[in-house]
Every structure is written in C-alpha cells, then in structure tokens.
Amino acid sequence: MQKIQIGEYLRRKKILDIIKLSDGWIIIKTENSKSVNDFRVKTIYQTTPRLRYYTPKHAHFAIDFYGKICADKNKAMKLFDAIIQTWNRRNIKDVIGKYQKDVRNLPGYSLEYILYALNWILDQEDINFTDRPPKRQQEIDDLLNKLNIKSTTDRRGSQLAISLFCSLVLGEHPVNAFIRVNLDVLPVKRAFGAV
C-alpha cells in the first residue's frame, strides 16, 4: 500500500497537506504548476486493496447540491449557509458542529467532505485568479447581492464558484448554471463540437 502522508508522492506530485475524514476518506493537497502557490486537491476514497482517488471539481459539488435541493430544499439551504460560512473563513469544525443536525439524512456527499474539500478548492481558485472583465465581475456581484452575500477582494477568484451555488439556490438548472460560469463540463463541450 502506498503511504499517504505529507512529503510522500502521489503520481509524481508531492503531498503538501492531508485531511482524514471521519468516514475514512482522505483529502490531500498535492503540488501543481498553474502558479507559484498552486496546488491540486485529490479525494482518496479507497486505500486497500488498491488506492483509488479522484480530483474533485466544482461540478461534483454543484450536482450534489442540486440533488440535495431536489431532496429537501430547506435542508439544502442550511448546507448553502454552511458553505458560505466556510467561504467566509469560519472554522470548519465549528461550522460542521453548527449545521450537522440541520443537514442530516440529505443524499450525497457528507457535510464534512463538502466543507473541507470545497474550502481547499475555493482557496485554489483565489490563488490562481488573475482578473476578469468588469462586466463579468458585475454579473457575479449582482448575483451575490441577490442573496445578501458579502465578498472581500481576497476571495475574487472563488466568487465565480460561489456564484454557481447561488444560481442553483435561485432555481437555475445546473446545465445552464455551468454554461453561465463557463465550467469545464465535457458533455457540454461535446455538444458544441469538442472531442
């Protein structure tokens, strides 16, 4: 079995940080090369007999969130509040403690996994962010304002991902929301001729 610890390598990428979840899943940060402080997030969901993992994307969490909205909108809104608090850099353990009972029995990913993985993914978006056109930024600001979500300038990169969740809360279908935020969704790209 491969060692999963800081300083070891996963597919030639050094492991920089690890979070072990209560269900046995492990979230890791590995080196990446988009920018100086860039990293990649990986979810390890099996360690024996063979290591199995994937790279979580915004789409995974958006689809999971949409499923939760379909199952129980009131509980899904509590999850949304927990995501926003995590994005606003609240202590994740405290956020889990506050919302765990409110989101109990929702289908899909656990609250613990969502918050820890999304926290790193959103940080990664902020680290790699350069700029966006003013018109696009205004669209994002307007969407966040509709739900009274305040953002700081140090979170501009992750605003786009948060706006995706806002769109779902406001009733937009996931496919339309993905296209609006230009999310890399291969089936959508194929519909427009990509291979």
Instruction: Give the CA radius of gyration of the chain.
Output: 17
Residue 181's pLDDT is 83
Helices (H), the chain: 58-71, 73-87, 92-99, 111-128, 134-146, 156-169, 174-180, 186-191
Position 1: which residue type? Answer: M
Residue located via tokens 């609006």: 180
Give this prediction's pTM. Answer: 0.91
For 34-86, how does the pLDDT look when each residue is reduced to its tens digit (9 = 90+)? 888 999 999 999 998 899 999 999 889 999 999 999 999 999 999 999 999 99
Residue 53's pLDDT is 94
For 78-136, how does the pLDDT look when each residue is reduced to its tens digit (9 = 90+)? 999 999 999 999 999 999 999 999 999 999 999 999 999 999 999 999 998 989 999 99
Which DSSP symbol is given to 107? S
Q: Residue 188: is its pLDDT beyond 50? A: no
